[in-house]
Structure 1
Amino acid sequence: MMKSLLSRTALLAAPLLLAGSLAAQLTPAGVSISNRNGNFNTPGGISSLTTPGTGLSKPDVYGVNQKPGSCPQYPWKTGIVTTIFWVGELATEKNPVPNTASSWDPKWMKTFGGYDCPDEDKSVTNFKPAKFTPMQNPFYFALPYNDVIDHDTHKEEAKKVIPWFKGTFKREGRSVLEDRWIAIRFGSRVCYAQWGDCGPFVTDDADYVFGNARPKNPKNNGAGLDISPAVRDYLDFRSGQSVDWKFVEEDDVPDGPWKTWGTNNPFSMAYQRKELGKLPTAGVAAANDARPVSQSEIDRIQELRRQRDLWFQNGGAAKAGK
C-alpha cells in the first residue's frame, strides 16, 4: 500500500504542464518513472492521468446507459449526421484542413501528445491511443462554430448567441467554447465529450449550434458533428450515421471513461489534486519502512501546479503559439 502511495507522486508528476522538462521537476528523488507504454510504475500500470474507481476497462455500468446530463435549458438536437476526425489528421481532397492544429491551438497535435490513430480499436486500449498517454481528453468533438476571430478578438455575435458567454468570459480572444461538454446519444448508449475543434467544414453556423436550425453544411450528407475515435468506439458508431447531441454542464457529466485523461479535463485534474493530499507523511512512511515525501517536495508540486493553472488561465498553448 505504501509503495502505491509513493508511486502516486509519479502519477501527480505526469502531466506535461508548463513545458517538457517539468515532469522531472515534479518527481521526488527516489521515485522512479517508467514511460514504457505511457504507464508509470504504479500497481497494475495505472495511467498517468487516470481517475479512481474500478479501472479503465469498459465496465457494464457504462452500457445501456446511465441517464444523460439533466440540463433542461439545452435541448437534444436529433438526427445529426456525424463523421469521424482525429488529432493529427492530414489534409486530403475530402478534408482540406489538417487537424495538426485546431481552431484554438496551432500546436494541437503536440498539446494532445501525439497522433490519435483512427485505425486502432480504442475499446481495447481504454479509449486512449495505444502508443502514448494523451495529454488531453481523447473524448473530443467538433461543432461548426468558432467564437473567436483570433487570439485577441471575439466575434461580436458570440456574446449574444452563446448561452454561457457572460458567465465564462475571461478575456478577448480566449474561447468560451473550448473544452465545453456535450452528451452524444447513439441508439441506447450515451457518451460525453469535450469541445476540441470547429467544423465540419464551416465555423459560423450559430443558428444550428445554438438555435433550432439544421446544419447548413451541405457536404457529407449535411454533417453537423465530428467525433473522435474514442467517442466512435465507445458508441460502436460508423462514420456517416446519425446521432443526437446536447450541451451539458460539467456537474451533469456522469462517471465514465471520458473522465480519465487530460490536463484540459476537470475531472482528471481534480482527482490528481485529491491524490496530492494522500502522500505519506514522515510518520506514516517510517511505520512502513518507506521514504517519506518531504514537505518541500509537496510544496514544489503544488507550486508547479499553481503555475500550470495560471498558464492555462492566461491562454496557455494558444497564446504561446501566436
Structure 2
Amino acid sequence: MARLRRTLVTALLAVLVAAVLPPTAGQAAVGERARASYPWHTRIVATTFWVGEVFDPHAADGSQMISTYDDHWYESYGGCDGRIRGGTCTTERRYRRDGWFPRRMTPKQNPFYLDLPFDDLNDRVGFRRRGAVVPWATRPRYAGLVDDPTVSLMKNRWVQIRSRGRTCYGQIQDAGPGRYHDARYVFGRRDARPASKRYNNAGLDVSPALNGCLGFRSLDGDRDRVDWRFVDGRDVPRGPWKRLVTR
C-alpha cells in the first residue's frame, strides 16, 4: 500500500512539474512549426500602391479608386491615402511617430494593406480554383462560402512581411500586381517565384504605411525586396496595424 502511495505521489509530482516548467527545445520547436504553417516567400520584389492612385487611366487595372473586392474602395477607405497635389492623389513619406498612419486624412480602414496576385472573386480561374488552393478554404468559417460568388476568401486576410530587419503586418485588400490567379506562387513553396514579369518581377504591392514601416528605400519604386507569409489573425501581435482593423 505504501509503495502504491509513493508511485501515485511521484506521478502527481511529475505532472505538476511538467505544468510549471517551460517546454523543452523540442516541444517549443513543434509548437513553432504548428504556428508557422504557412511557408515564407523570400526575396520578393514589392512595389507600393495607395488608395486613390491612378498610374494608368487607360489600363483596366491602372487605378486604385476601386479594388477587385470593393467597387467603392476610395469612399470606403475615406479618400486619398496620401496627399492631393494638382488634383492628383500622390503618396507621402510615413513616420514612426504617427504609427505610419497618413498625416493628411483620417482613414476609415486599416492603412496597413497590400495585394497579392490571386483574385478569388472576379477572376474566373481564381474563383474556380480557390476551394482547392486557398489553404484555409476547408475551415468551418470558409467552407460554406467557397461557392458564394459574392464573398472573397482573400480579403482582409493577414500577411506578415519582413524587410531590412523589420517585421510588419498588413491585410489583403486587392489583387495584383500583373497576374490574378498565380496560385503556384501565392500558395506554393518557399522557392516559388511570381509568374508576372511586370514591375521588375514584383510579387506584391504594399501600402504607404507598410512602405514606411518596412523602411523601403523608395516611396514608389520596384527595387525593395521582402519576405512574406500568410498568418492567421490570432497570431498577429499588437502594433500599429491593429489600431484600425478592416473587417
TM-score by length of 2: 0.73
Choose between structure 1 and 2: higher strand proportion: 2
1:233 equivalenced with 2:215 (yes/no): no
Measured after TM superposition, the shift of residue 199 of structure 1 is 0.5
CA distance in structure 2 between the partners assigned to 1:214 and 1:261 by the alignment: 31
1:246 pairs with 2:211? no
Question: Quick one: structure 1 residues 161 and 115, their matched pair in 2 at CA, closer, same or farther if it must change by over 3 Å?
Answer: same
Q: Does 1:135 align with 2:114?
A: no
CA distance in 1, matches of 2:105, 2:229: 30
Paired with 2:73 and 2:169, the residues of 1 have a C-alpha distance of: 20
SS at match of 1:215: coil
1:173 aligns with 2:114: no
Q: Deviations over 1:167-212 (max 9, x none)?
A: 2333333001000001000122110000010001211101000013
Structure 1 distance, partners of 2:193, 2:133, is 16
Q: Does 1:123 align with 2:123?
A: no
SS at match of 2:201: coil
Per the alignment, in what secondary structure is the counterpart of residue 192 of structure 1?
strand
Contact persistence 1:178–1:197 (CA under 8 A): yes
Structure 1 or 2, whichever has the larger Rg, is: 2
Q: Which amino acid aligns with 2:174?
A: D
Equivalent AA in structure 1 for residue 68 of structure 2: S
Question: Residue 186 of structure 2 corresponds to which residue in structure 1?
Answer: 209
Task: Return the letter of the residue paired with 1:246.
Answer: R
- Aligned partners of 1:69 and 1:108: how far apart in 2? 36
Shift of 1:220: 1.6
Which SS does the other structure have where 2:198 is aligned? Answer: coil
CA offsets per residue over residues 247-279 of structure 1, 9 Å max, x none?
A: 0011110111000014x25xxxxxxxxxxxxxx
Superposed counterparts of 1:56-75, under 5 Å: 71-75=35-39
Runs (4 or more) in structure 1 with deviation over 4 Å come to 93-96
Q: 2:120 aligns with which of 141, 144, 147?
A: 147
For 2:8, the equivalent position in structure 1 comes to none
**Structure 1 position 153, deviation (Å):** 11
Alpha carbons of structure 1 residues 202 and 128: separation in structure 2 relative to 1, 3 Å? same
Partner of 1:159: 131
Task: Give the Cα separation in 1 of the matches to 2:153 and 2:47.
Answer: 24
Q: Which consecutive residues of structure 2, in runs of 5 or more, have no partner in the other structure? A: 1-31, 83-90
Structure 1 contact 89–98 (Cα < 8 Å) conserved? yes
2:126–2:181 contact (8 Å) kept in structure 1: no
Query: What is the CA distance between 1:70 and its match in structure 2?
Result: 7.0
TM-score when normalising by structure 1: 0.57
The answer to whether the 8 Å contact 2:93/2:212 transfers is no
Q: Which amino acid aligns with 1:81?
A: V
Call closer, same or farther: CA 1:136–1:257 in 2, change over 3 Å. Answer: same
> Are residues 1:220 and 2:199 paired?
yes
| Structure 1 position 166, deviation (Å) | 2.4
Partner of 1:177, secondary structure, is coil
Instruction: Confirm whether residue 88 of structure 1 aligns to residue 61 of structure 2.
Output: no
Aligned residue in 1 for 2:162 = 185
Query: Residue 116 and residue 189 in structure 1: after superposition, are their counterparts in 2 closer, same or farther (change >3 A)?
Result: same
1:154/1:234 CA distance change after superposition, 3 Å:
closer
Superposition deviation, residue 159 in structure 1: 0.6
CA offsets, 1:31-56, max 9 Å, x none?
xxxxxxxxxxxxxxxxxxxxxxxxxx
Q: Is the 8 A contact 1:122 1:229 kept in 2?
A: no
Q: Percent identity?
A: 39
User: In 1, are the aligned partners of 2:115 and 2:176 still within 8 Å (CA)?
Assistant: yes
